[in-house]
Structure 1
Amino acid sequence: MAGHSKYKNIMHRKGAQDKKRSAMFSKLSREITVAAKMGTPDPAMNPRLRAAVLAAKAQSMPKDNIQRAIEKASGGDAENYEDVRYEGFGPGGVSLIVEALTDNRNRTATNVRTSFSKNGGNLGASGSVSHGFDRLGLITYPATAGSADAVLEAAIEAGAEDVESDEDGHQIWTAQESLHEVAKALEAALGEAESTKLAWRPQTPVDVDFDDAGQLFKLIDALEEDDDIQTVWGNYEVSDEVMEKLG
């Protein structure tokens, strides 16, 4: 198991997400509703719903909002959303995987293609970049959860595959089929996680320079501004020096 994180940029800059709280709540609600509709409305019995609720709590989403999103799944007016994945290439040869929940595939595909083309990227065919990623479970904890050694020990005991720790926190990776069992064991040892989700982990990160990083983040911002887009994953690595220049 590794102990140091080189992937804190994979999920884009958290600060940019924090500035979009209203849009974030909308996306979290959509995921909760879809998860509840696909299975039981009880988070304890529905792994996807449990992960969605944990993600919402981690962003301080009010309990009433969470409950309304769950109840909406059983209502007659609940929209029929489906999972859609897009793959493409960004500036600097970066590979991107875009996950969406949509009730209109044509609208979402058009918006995603436009975001790529206007921001120095190219939308690829299905499978064009996902072969360069591993589909894994990802459990994140804040730095306050414990020292790197303590978290590593807890992760080993829980059956996790890899741990990355830095000043921002701890990222614990596991096989996707073991995600919720490992998350449950970690919760007993470390408390509630910040997030528990399925993730795309790049096999070979790509270093991005200042010029490409600026354009890349514009592309990611454009994608994330779309209500249908839930998550953008990439294999990019941006140095601290470049991040400081970007402000």
Structure 2
Amino acid sequence: MAGHSKYKNIMYRKGAQDKKRSALFSKLSREITVAAKMGLPDPDANARLRAAIIAARAQSMPKDNIQRAIDKASGSDAENYEEMRYEGFGPGGVAIIVEALTDNRNRTATNLRTAFSKNGGNLGASGSVSHGFERMGLIEYPASAGDADKLFEAASEAGAEDVESDEGGHRIWTSVENLHEVSRALEALLGEAEGTKLAWKPSTEVEVRGDDAASLMKLIDTLDEDDDVQTVWGNYDVPEDELEKLA
């Protein structure tokens, strides 16, 4: 298991550029409802639901909102959302994976195709970029959880595969199969995580600068603002000095 490696930009500015609160809560609610509908409405018996609730708590989503989203899964008015994955290329040749929950796949595909084409990219076929990523479990802790050595030791004890720490916090990677078990073990050692999710980890990263960096950030912001989009992943590395210019 590797430790202390640098992590940047895999998921663009996680939490740093907050969406409007109502839009963010809407996306969180949708994930909670889908998770509860796919399994038991009990987070102790449903790993995906538990992860969705943790993510909602990390964004200070009220308990009543969380419970309403869970209850909605068993209600007669529950929408039927379909999980979709879209793959494409952004400025600078970076690979991008977009995960969505949609009740109208034609609408979502059209919106995403437009977003890519207007911002220097193009939407590709299924499988066009995912071969360059590994599907893994990701557990996130803030920097306040401890230093890199403490997190590395805790992750090793919990059975994680990799740890990446920097000034922004700690990312602990696991196999998909072990995500729930490792997250439970880490919670006993470090307290509740800031986020627990399935993620796409790129095998290599592409450095992006200048106009390509500006267009890429605009593309990702546009994708992120779409109501159907849940997460946006990429293999890009935008250096800190470039991010500061764009801020």
Shift of 1:15: 5.3
Asked if 1 retains the 8 angstrom alpha-carbon contact of 2:164 and 2:171, the reply is yes
Work out the CA distance in 1 between the residues paired with 2:53 and 2:8.
Answer: 23
Deviation, structure 1 residue 246: 1.2
Q: Is the contact made by 1:210 and 1:246 (CA closer than 8 Å) also made in structure 2?
A: no
Which amino acid in 2 is paired with 1:215? S
TM-score scaled by length of structure 1: 0.98
Match of 1:51 in 2: 51
Matched, 1:185 2:219: no
1:119 correspondence with 2:119: yes
Q: Distance in 1 between matches of 2:103 and 2:95?
A: 26
Secondary structure of 2:214's partner? helix
CA contact (8 A) 1:35 1:48 kept: yes
Kindly indicate whether residue 18 of structure 2 is the aligned counterpart of residue 22 of structure 1: no
SS at match of 2:128: coil
Correspondence list, 1:65-144, <5 A: 65-144=65-144
Give deviations 1:165-221, integer Å, cap 9, x for gaps. 111110000001000000000000000000000000000000001211110011111
Give the 5 Å matches for 1:148-167: 148-167=148-167
Query: What is the number of residues matched between the two proteins?
Result: 247
The offset of 1:147, in angstroms, is 1.3
Q: Tell me, what secondary structure is at the counterpart of 1:18?
A: coil
The 8 Å contact of residues 140 and 196 in structure 2, kept in 1 or not, is answered as: yes
Decide whether aligned partners of structure 1 residues 126 and 173 sit closer, same or farther in structure 2, where only a CA change above 3 A counts. Answer: same
Residues in 2 aligned to 1:16 and 1:157: alpha-carbon distance in whole angstroms? 30
**Alpha-carbon shift at residue 10 of structure 1 (Å):** 1.3
What is the identity, as a one-letter code, of the residue corresponding to 1:109?
Answer: A
| 1:29/1:66 contact within 8 Å kept | yes
Conservation of the 8 A alpha-carbon contact between 2:7 and 2:166 = no
What's the C-alpha RMSD, in Å, of the aligned pairs?
1.0
Provide the rounded CA distance (Å) in 2 between the counterparts of 1:230 and 1:79. 16
1:16 to partner: Cα distance: 5.4
Query: Equivalents in 2 of 1:160, 1:4: separation in Å?
Result: 14
* Corresponding residue number in structure 2 for 1:194: 194
The sequence identity of aligned pairs, in percent, is 78
Q: 2:113 is matched by which residue type in structure 1?
A: R
The answer as to whether partners of 1:202 and 1:235 remain within 8 angstroms in 2 is yes
3-state SS of paired residue (1:199): strand
| Structure 1 residue runs of 4 or more that deviate by more than 4 Å after TM superposition | none
Query: Which AA in structure 1 matches 2:115?
Result: S
Instruction: Give the whole-Å Cα distance in 2 for the aligned partners of 1:181 and 1:119.
Output: 40
Shift of 1:5: 4.4
Deviation string, structure 1 residues 21-46 (Cα, Å, up to 9, x no partner):
22111000000000000110001000
Distance 1:168 1:182 in 2: 21
SS of 2:186's equivalent in the other structure is helix
Note the alpha carbon deviations across 1:125-155, whole angstroms, 9 max, x for none: 0000000000000000011111111110010
TM-score with structure 2 setting the length: 0.98
What one-letter code is carried by the residue in structure 2 that aligns with 1:107?
Answer: R
Distance 1:210 1:45 in 2: 47
Q: Distance in 1 between matches of 2:219 and 2:245?
A: 18
Q: Could you tell me which amino acid in structure 2 is paired with residue 63 of structure 1?
A: K
